[in-house]
Structure 1
Amino acid sequence: MFTATIDAKAFRNVLESVGVLVEECRVHIDSDGMRFRAADPALVALVDLTLDAEHFEHYEARETVLGVNIERLTEILSVAESGDSIQMELDISSHKLTVEVGTLSYTLGLLDPDSIRDEPDLPDLEPPATVTLKGYHIDRGVKAAEMVSNHLRLAVDEDEETFAIEAEGDTDDVAVELGREEVTSLAPGSADSLYSLEYLTAINRVIPNDEPVTLELGEEFLAGLEFEVPEAKQSVSYRIAPRMQYA
């Protein structure tokens, strides 16, 4: 059993936060809420988001796992207008999800969860450095890096207490450097890692410019990135594997 009602814009923002990395996802549902956790096909980046039951207008569920085409469900919600709610109901016998938005009723065929890649387990990580900053700083750094390279460096200078987004191209270099006075908070430590720009560009599309984003960083470290999904009042977190640097 699964029936739920939630603000359509908030739910679409949730789906888009997941959909920047994957088209399909195993969604774990129980009485506490819905959990989206998936890795991209190359196993470089992971998204993890739990939408608590308290954020729904109505929510009833028993424990189950759904195979959801995130891209298709997001498209359905594109017809929603401001203030609309989405109603969802699972038909277990047909393995389909009925989705109602305003006057639209759509029956979405679900995927076999076993056909979707298992979400990987994450080790307990203790980041050497953390920085919290407004999303527009990341947007500026990512867009600048796109002009010169396919990857970028995220680094913290422990002595100078600065955070930097850098990219080196064949002929040109760019850098965005921020001190304590330009970020919300900074816990300096040893951090300097290179990441594929492809994944940061994708995630950057859903980062709110004026809201805080927290980064967990280290040396050749599985970087963490977390922020609150607009309208949903729930945080989404990502992990991005570093590119190994060889001397």
Structure 2
Amino acid sequence: MNAQNSAPDTLPSPTSGRPAGAVYADRGASHYDILLALMAVVVILSGIGASKGVTFGTVPGTGFEIITDGGFFLFPLAYILGDVITELYGTRAARRAIITSFALNILAVACYQVIIILPGFTDDFGTAKQEALALALGPVWIIVLASLCGFLAGQSLNSFVLSRMKARAGERGLIGRLLSSSGLGELVDTIIFCSIAATAIGISSVGQWAEYTILGFLYKVLVQYAAIPVTAAVIRRLKRTDRSYQQALARAQA
């Protein structure tokens, strides 16, 4: 049977045969477009949500204030999607997804500014809406700048570590490389993002910045770690159902 037109239904056993090395699917005939669209939407919505500072009070008995932003529940999804894209399609595809997501985010910010500048109705309701738009969407560009710097650095490092570990282990050790890459990438991302975005969110003291940064890092890492079983299951499922990945794997093991 022609290997180009057929592919095995399951991955070869990671404990049998020689390692296949780093194998990736073809972006042109796969789930890449869907994953890219999801990442772009998550990044854009995170930029809007993160312009709002959020507090859940203090931890009893510690005085530690729980400070975060309105995008806290969204942004870890961008890293999870980045892990999936890197594992399936490689660092070049992950880089394209990152750049595309932030290019679209910059476009969104430009649109916000145009919307704010456009003359609105001059009645009380129109004036109130204009002020609300300017207050809510005006500082989003700072959040996007912070996200751009942090996410580019953190996700690029995350993808690099993930891909290098895969190059050594092949299909083995998926859980290990997800654990290893996530913590390092999130640490770099969180420090850069929180340092730039703090003033736009309303954080005005070093103590608040420290609480915001520490909590943000711990939250993102814990969410990613908690999601690793699901992330790994999704990755394995996509590998099995992606014909181009199976064909690349078969060629590498031939």
Q: TM bucket by the smaller chain?
A: under 0.3
Higher Cα Rg, which structure: 2
TM-score of the pair, normalised by structure 1: 0.23
Which structure: greater helix fraction? 2
Q: Which has the higher strand share?
A: 1
